[in-house]
Amino acid sequence: MAPSTTAPKAPLKSTLPPLLLGTATFNTQYVPDPHSLPYRSIVACALSLGVRGFDTSPYYGPSEILLGDALHTLFTSETNPLPREDVFIVTKAGRIAGDEFDYSPSWVRYSIYRSLQRLHTDYLDLVYMHDVEFVSPAEVLGAVQELRRLRDEEGLIRHVGISGFPVKVLAELAEMILRETGEPLDAVLSYGHFTVQNRLLSESSVLKRFKKAGVEVILNASMLGMGLLTQKGIPPNPDSKESPLVKWHPSPPDLRIACKKLGELAAAKGERLESVAIRWALEEWARVGAEAEVGVDAEPGSPLKVGATVCGVSSIPELEETVTEWNDVLEGLKKVAAAGGKADGRVYGTERQEKILKLVEDEMWPALGEWIDFAWASPGDGYVNTRRPEDKGRVPDDGVVAAHEERIKHKK
């Protein structure tokens, strides 16, 4: 696999898959033992189902290592090796731990070298600076410029973006980066802000700001609110042992209780809350993202544009359910396009979407009451970056940089 040595000519919206497998779930934040997950089978199954994009981060515990192992197994298969260009690999940099961030150029560079090794690849299709709201705008700017240097001078990255929680902060930073560098961001990853409970990413004023800032693609992630919108839900008691999410999930207890009621409403209609939340977010963001002109090709070379989504799963049945819903979404949108119509949020050509829209709009949104579109503060009160100033830019003496330099030497 040879590294890319020039900036890509194809726009991101024609190369980024509309559905990516997110591997934040390959992490102790979601499961007790990520190494026990059938992660190789999940990745192989994703590819067999047509999902060819994968999103990870060094912050997600062993996620990069597990995803890299699964991909390496497929890349090096003796019978049918997977070509590197057939997959789209996304990772992040800058976030080290819950309250520890290092956006210095030397740490960003080290993080990219390490990700390349872990993911068994010579280049990364897209890299975000991770959770940008936790550091200063100046730090974000410097880190983005370093990613672009790695793109332009070393050919290690093809596209550059930012990720985070508060959508208005993401918009402000996108505007600042365009203003300061004259070059817009390729992508913005927003999570938890286009769900059945929180629709703030769909505000036209926010989307217009992103578009004016030149952002090519906006991706929606965490359709289930990081586990909030599930039939099991998250226990409101912070001392509960029922779910690992209790330890870190930032949602207040009353919001967890409100979302638990949504599960009861779904069950009364013969549905699981997960299925309703996934279907609603997939189809609605497919429409909204496309209408805001921040979507991607629905299929290679297709004139149909859709908003792109990152879906996290921890089992093959979850993956299969999501892909089934996505394929039905595409079929409905194709029918509308073929008929010369426009998907307006009510007419999609599928009975299932009409059922989901009616359940969400007529029952779930009223049931949420004051909690509709609620977003917790990020960072929360009392946040302090635990990375000491004198440690920023100090990289481990673990052989990562030396190994990268050795690889480059052998390629010359």
Quick one: pLDDT at residue 29? 87
Residue 130's closest CA among 106, 102, 89, 88?
102
Asked if residue 6 is part of any domain, the answer here is: no
Asked if residue 4 is part of any domain, the answer here is: no
List pLDDT tens digits, range 101-156: 999 999 999 999 999 999 999 999 999 999 999 999 999 999 999 999 999 999 99
Q: How far is CA 66 from the centre of its chain?
A: 17
Quick one: pLDDT at residue 5? 43
DSSP state, residue 364: I
How many CB atoms within 10 Å of residue 50? 12
**Number of domains comprising the chain:** 1
Write b or e for each residue in 322-334: b if 16 or more Cβ atoms lie within 10 A of its Cβ, otherwise e. Answer: bbebbebbbebbe
Give the structural domain span for 202.
12-411
Tokens representing residue 43 in the block: 């990745």
The CA distances from residue 77 to 71, 361, 371, 397, in Å, are 10, 48, 49, 33
Q: Give the residue numbers marked as catalytic.
A: 60
Asked if residue 2 is part of any domain, the answer here is: no
Averaged pLDDT of the chain: 94
The CA distances from residue 145 to 168, 213, 399, in Å, are 21, 17, 25
Check which CATH number belongs to the domain holding 132 and give it: 3.20.20.100
Classify the C-alpha dihedral 401-99-20-51 as positive or negative.
Answer: positive
Asked if residue 1 is part of any domain, the answer here is: no
Q: How confident is the model at residue 339 (pLDDT cuts 50, 70, 90)?
A: confident
Question: Are 395 and 401 spatial neighbours (Cβ–Cβ below 8 Å)?
Answer: yes
Asked if residue 406 is part of any domain, the answer here is: yes
Residue 191's closest CA among 237, 131, 143?
131
Quick one: pLDDT at residue 3? 41
List pLDDT tens digits, range 63-101: 999 999 999 999 999 999 999 999 999 999 999 999 999
Q: How confident is the model at residue 345 (pLDDT cuts 50, 70, 90)?
A: very low
Quick one: pLDDT at residue 6? 44
Write b or e for each residue in 90-102: b if 16 or more Cβ atoms lie within 10 A of its Cβ, otherwise e. Answer: bbbbbbbeeeebb
Q: What mean pLDDT comes out for the span 312-317?
A: 95
Judged by DSSP in three states, 383 sits in: coil
Write b or e for each residue in 217-235: b if 16 or more Cβ atoms lie within 10 A of its Cβ, otherwise e. Answer: bbbbbbbbbbbbbbbebbb
Quick one: pLDDT at residue 340? 73
List pLDDT tens digits, range 212-222: 999 999 999 99
Asked if residue 22 is part of any domain, the answer here is: yes
Helix then strand then coil, in percent of the chain rounded to 5, is 45, 10, 40
**Which phi and psi angles does 26 have, rounded to 5°?**
-85, 55
Asked if residue 3 is part of any domain, the answer here is: no
Lowest-confidence pick of 159-173, 209-223, 348-362, 380-394? 348-362
Asked if residue 77 is part of any domain, the answer here is: yes
Rounded distance between C-alpha atoms, residue 312 and residue 225, angstroms: 11
